[in-house]
Amino acid sequence: MRPWPGTPYPLGATYDGVGTNFTLFSEVADYVELCLFDADGAETRVRLPEVDGFVHHGYILGIGPGQKYGYRVHGPHDPGRGLRCNPHKLLIDPYAKAITGEVEWHESLFGYPFGSPEERNDQDSAGHVPLSVVVNPFFDWANDRPPKTPYNETVIYEAHVKGLTMLHPEVPERLRGTYAGLAHPAVIEHLKSLGVTAIELMPVHQFISDHGLEQKGLRNYWGYNTIGFFAPHEGYAALPENAGQVQEFKGMVRALHEANIEVILDVVYNHTAEGNHLGPTLSMRGIDNQAYYRLVEDDPTFYMDYTGTGNSLNVRSPHTLQLIMDSLRYWVTEMRVDGFRFDLAATLAREFYDVDRLSTFFDLVQQDPVVSQVKLIAEPWDVGPGGYQVGNFPPLWTEWNGKYRDTVRDFWRGEPATLGEFASRITGSSDLYKDDGRRPYASINFVIAHDGFTLNDLVSYNDKHNEANGEDGRDGADDNRSWNCGVEGPTDDPEVNELRARQRRNMTATLLLSQGVPMLLHGDELARTQQGNNNAYCQDNELSWVDWSLLEKNRDLVDFTSALTAFRKQHPVLRRRRFFQGKPIRKGDELRDIAWFTPAGEEMQEQNWGDGFGKCIVVFLNGEGIPDLDQRGMRVLDDSFLLAFNAHHEDIEVTLPEPGYGPQWTVVVDTATGTVVAPELAEDPIPAGGTLTLASRSLVVLQRTGVE
């Protein structure tokens, strides 16, 4: 088999209908061998004949989709200088569009702390590592169009491909836990009924399970352990043969787009599955360790670790930045996804030591004509010094708002002195996003995410219960800001269960009535439980999978959630594109766009915000004061509303504002009863200045009525 020179770009394996061009970047390699595997696993080695700009390349006629391959990199091996080339190790192509097989843990995969000779002469690792696969790039997208839902109309549903579908009774058993299962009409119909406009998938890049977990009989379930930034995870494919996961993933995207649902990927560009200096050599470590990883400057044997996983990608290297940007563009252009949520995104901004919001990575994203046009969501923190960066990302970005999560949890569990912070969070967190020109939708609001308690567990447990993880309770957050409503865990006490149901509705309603972009977690609408486990990253079982038998048992919560998303969609004042100003929109208007009231019906004063005992507040939202224009350039108008929040453990008598704000008000949402109704179907309206008994720990929305 004699390779032709081929071309240095694009990187990876590219099939053109006749043969395949193979390319691999390595600045330190002396030469690179392409390893081709037949159906029986026999290996044929071919030296790539050309090198241009440190890209080794060659073209082989007759090689097509389904061909399994890997690389062996010949070059210097001196871990003390950060060099870890070793031709005994079979390596995964960093640009592989598909990867097959799992790691079979063997001592030959691991490094040695000080570069002992054994590492260079260990056993051949063929058969111990997954193989790269040449893919067929052709796919019938039919009439696929990206939904391009505006941020202020977006409702995100964070989900796990396997966890969402594994126990769904209407999904055929052979499709459960797969991309095809997620595309099943029963799943899509549930998403549509909830009013979901975007599904945010936990990692679907090819990942591996940790050796330590497998030794304990567990697996990496969440998938934050990437080994292939271009390859959809093979384990989520119903038909993975011959790189079928690529076609299946595209089919899933097409089906979701047909339902007008966007696909957002949770991506992990901050580290890889190769871990620290004792971790396995599977890909980039053996290709060009210095280029791809941040090494300790004083001793490059070791890796900088801002992620808590053993290594951090070297975003100071142009080749690593190219890898990340090429991957992002590939998923947008070839796989047609609609956006990304960046795990531990602060790590990507660490060009030197500190987090730099003007780092090269953000510059590249800003000017990229493809990536800059999709939804970009940052998890704005990492575990390094100064890593908590909520509110500090550039204007193009939105952020998971951890301050929103913490404040809403504190308010509803009755923590003192939260009124001012709560008011800021539910109105879009202008203190975080306004100064740099961003809008309220820069705040991705969430109370619950995959990392932590489920919604049901948040109101059922004071403490984490992670015994199943086998880490003696050392894993998972201790500061959960949860409240068990009086009993730890499941109970038959009807009063406790009723309070928990109300608290679930309070959290859900607050989320969907807040300015910004709401994000729900899969199964929370069913009151799913993880039995108090707040770190189920290794629980690939019924503990983490969505229990669809809860659908009918908790139908009231499902219907309440669906009604609220529909209510939000109907009323643009609840999803404004601009921040409230606290003043009239036009000259001559008497009413401001927003006003805050005490339970006595008096406007909040400075001293009221500091009341440590205050747990009740009323806010007026002026539907005539929306500064937005519709698609025709017409001013957006809406009804006006009062939102009344009571986190106190007793009922509170609330006096409605004077007639200038509205002649009468009708209750349309009440978390105490779990009702969402149209105003014409509601009970008798309450006149201005009248009183309303606001039940303990409840939220009420009143709509202005009686206006000509």
Specify whether the CB–CB gap between 234 and 99 falls below 8 A.
yes
CA–CA separation, 47 and 73 (whole Å): 10
CA–CA separation, 296 and 220 (whole Å): 27
Catalytic residues: 343, 379
CA–CA separation, 191 and 671 (whole Å): 22
CA–CA separation, 411 and 647 (whole Å): 7
Angle at 481 between CA 475 and CA 487, to 5 degrees: 90
Residues whose CB is less than 8 angstroms from the CB of residue 71 and which lie 6 or more positions away in sequence, other chains included: 24, 32, 33, 34, 35, 90, 91, 93, 287
Give me 19's structure tokens. Answer: 């043969």
Give me 190's structure tokens. Answer: 């549930």
SS3 content of the chain, % helix, strand, coil (to 5): 30, 20, 50
CA–CA separation, 327 and 93 (whole Å): 13
| Pair type for strands 517-521 and 443-445 | parallel
Cα 445 versus chain centre, distance: 12
Specify whether the CB–CB gap between 162 and 236 falls below 8 A.
yes
Q: Tell me, what amino acid is at 77?
A: H
- Helix (H/G/I), strand (E/B), else coil: 512: helix
Specify whether the CB–CB gap between 204 and 189 falls below 8 A.
no
> In this structure, what DSSP letter does residue 132 have?
E
CA–CA separation, 622 and 574 (whole Å): 10
- Rounded to the nearest 10 degrees, the angle between the axes of helix 284-292 and helix 318-333 is 120
CA–CA separation, 457 and 500 (whole Å): 10
CA–CA separation, 584 and 527 (whole Å): 41
In total, the chain counts a number of residues equal to: 708
CA–CA separation, 58 and 63 (whole Å): 12
